Chains A and B, each alone.
Chain A
C-alpha cells in the first residue's frame, strides 16, 4: 500500500502547520489565564506566582518548545476548568460528538442522495424545483433554532421524542460499559437492547437538526454530478447497448458521480463536527462542542489548544479517508497517485 504511506507522509507538513497555528492562536485569545486561575481575590504577586507555575512567564519560543515536547509525550496539558488532562477530557467526550455527527450525516445522506438522483433524472421538472426549494429552506434556518422547534413539537407537544437531557436519560438507564464510547455501539456490544433503543431515541432529534443543514450541499452535489454523468457519452453508450434502466442509473451514472459526492461528504462531516457546538447546548449533549465553549470562556489555553489540534487532526484524517475512498471509486486516481 504505497499509496497510503505516501498520503500519510503528505499529512506531515499540515500537521506541523496545525501545531504552530494552534499554539499561536490560543495565545491570541483575550483574557489572562493566570488571573482567571488565581481567582478573584488574587493580587499581582499571586497572579505572577501562578503565571510562573504555568510557565506563562517565559518567552513564546520557550513556551513553544515546552509545548512540542509535551505533545511528543502525548501530554496536552491539564485543563484549568476540569482539572483533568486535556487528552482525557477530549477522549472522554469525542465519541459523543462523533456519534451525533455520524447519525446526522447518515440522515442527510439517506435523504439527500436519493433526492439529488431523483432531481437529476428529471431536471427542471416540478420534482426538481421542489427538491431544491426544500433543501434550501432546511439550510436557511440556524441549526439550534431547528433543534428547538423539533423539541417543541416532538417532545413537548406530541411526546414522541424523549426528553432532551443528553445522550441517555440517566435516571432510567445506565450508560453501557465503555468500549468505543459511542452509546449505540457499546450497548450493542453489551447486548443491552433497552439502552440501545434509548440512546438511539436520544439521537434522533439532534441528528435531524444537524443533518438538515447538510442536506442542501449533499443533494446539490449529487444532482449536479448525476446530471453530468447522465448526460455523458458513456451513459449514452449504455443506453445504446440496451442496458436496463437501473443498471445505467447505478453502475454507469451514479458510480461516476460518486467521486464529487464523496469529496463533499468529507467536507460536510468535518463541518458538522465543528457546528455541533450549538446543537450540543440545545440537547444537553456532553460532547466536545460544549467543552470547547467553556474552555474559550475560561481562557483555558491548554483545553482550547487541545480542542483545535484534535479537530485539525480529525480533519486531516477525514481527508485521508476520502482520498482512500476516491481510489476505490475511481481507478484513475489510483493511477495518478
Chain B
C-alpha cells in the first residue's frame, strides 16, 4: 500500500495559497456590473395568516428596483421528498415561524433595500403557536400544516421483532430519558447568494452549497427551465456542517429578483439570518430502554425520540433516522424497536448537523455506563462486548464490510492512559469514553452516483471535472491527489473544474460523508481509464506491453526497467499526431438497496461503508463554579485508509471542537415565544483557541474493499463520539450520570448539589 507517490502523504492543500493571500473569493466578495442588493422581509410572528401585503409605498421609494411576494410565485410547495412538499419559497397563506419569508426587495444599495423592507406593509392575523414537540402533538389549535395531523411531520418505525420477548429474557433493564435543545452551525461565512440570468436566459447562481446539483434541480423546477439552463457556479465556501445541502428560499428569491429586474442581485445574510433562516439542529427528547444479559450484552432495546422539527420538513425523514442508524451501526443489539417522531413547531427549520442527535447518542452511551456500573463492568469492556464487528449486518440489514471499531477503542484506551486513570482519579476529575459510527452515504436514488471527466492538454497537464463540492473540508485537494496519483502527474499539473452544474455531472453532494467514497472514486476510475489510453500509446513508443508500464513524476516507464521511459507530455503529443485526443470518463455508483426508503421501508443496504470512531476525554470540574476544564481528548477513527493524514487530523480536531467542546459544554439556543434569544456570535458560545484541550489523533485503517484505496470518511465519527466522550467524562468527574445536554455550569452545579444533599 505504501508505494503510492501522492496518496497517503501529508500534502498541504491546493486551495490554501489563495486563502492565505486573501484571494479566494466567497459569494459575498463577488461583484457584477449593475448588481443590485437584495433583502428579505421576514415574518415577525411565529404563526400568522397573511391577510394582505401592500408594497406600493416601498415600490415608490427611489432606488427600489423590484419587490417580489408570494403573488409572483405559483404557490408551489417544495420538499426534499415527494411526501414532504410543505414549503413555499415565499409564503402566500401564512407564516409559520419568526423569520419565514414573506417578500423580497432589490434596490440600488443596502440602505435603500432596508428602507423598502420597512415600507412593505403586511397585515397578519396572529394564530396560536406551539413551541415544543409534546405540546404541538397535543395541540387542539390550528395545525401548522393542515395535511399533517397532530403536527407530526415524520414517523419512522423500525422493528426487528422479538423485542418484548428479549426484554423478558433480560437480566437487567433500564429506561432513561435524555434531552438536548437546538444548536446551530455557525459557519464562519454567513449565507449569501448571487443570481443573474445571462444572455441565453440561463440562470447563473453563486452560493455556498453542500452539492451544486442539489440546488439546480429545485431551481429548474421553480423557474420551469431545463436543468442545463441552471448554472450553479463554483465558489469558495466558508463551512457547511450539514446545513447547506438543500435549496434555500433566498436562492429562489434572489433569482426571482434577478429575473424581474434583469440585473444581477446579491443577498448577503446577517449573522442572525444565518442562524434563524437557514437550518438549525433538532432539539430532541429521547427515551432509551435497554435490556442486557449478565455480561452486559444488549438483548433488547426500545428507543422513542421526539424531535422538534420546526416549521418545515427539510431533510426530515433522514434527520429522523440518522441518530438511530449511527447507534445501530456502532453497537450490536439482539433486537430493537425504534419510533422516531419529527414534530412541527413554530420555530426555525431544523436540518442535519455534524453532530446530529447529541442527546440521543450521549443518552445511549450514558445508559450503557449506568448499566456497566450496575453490573460492575468497566465502560471500555462494556463497549467491547457490544461493539460492531466486521462481516455483520446492522439491525436494519446493512452489511458491514470493513470495521475496526475495536481497534479504535483499544488504541484510544492505550493512548489516553485509560487503565491508569479509570476509577483512580481524584474527586471532580474524570475520564469518559464514547463510540460511534457514521454512514458513508445515504440512499439517493438516481443522484447516488458521481461521474468524472478527464482531458489531457498538449502540454501534458490534465483537466479533471467532478461534481464534488468543497465546503472547506479539503475535497478539492482530495480529488487532485487522486487524479495526480493515477495519472502519474504532480498535483500542480492538475487543473480541477468542480462543483459547477454546467460542466460537471450529477454528484450526491458532500453532506452524507460520501465525497471521497463516491466522488473521489469516480475520479480514480476516470483517471485510471485515461492512464490506460496513455499506456496504449506509450507501449508503441517503448515497444513493451501496456501491462508492463507504470506512471509517476510526469513519466511513463517500464516497471522492471524504469530507465526505459517517456515523458507523459510526449505521449500526449504522439497521440494527438495520430489523430487521438487523450481523455476519459469514469463513474461510481454505490451498490445500495434501491428499495430502501427512510419511512416506508427502512431496511436493506444503506450504503457501502461505515466509519467507526472512539473518543476518550479527560476533564476537571470546578465544584464551586461548575466550569469544566478539558485536559485531553484522544480521538481514534477507522477511516478506511488515510489519503492525507494532515487533512484528516484537521477534520478530527475540528470535530472535537464542534462535537465535544462546543456541542457538549456551551452550545445551545434559548427561546422566548418562538424567538431565538441568542442568534449571534456574541450570545452563542463557540469554542475559542484558549478553550481547546490537547488533542491526540489516532488514525486507524481497515482498508475498505470498496472504498478508493480503501478510504471511507474522515472525521464524522469523531464529531459524534467526542460529544459522548465529553459527557461521559463530566458525569464521571461529578459522579452523576447527566441526562440533559449540553453540560453547562448551572446543570453541573445543580447535579453536584443534589448528589450532596442525597448523601447528607
The reply to whether chain A is a binding partner of chain B is: no
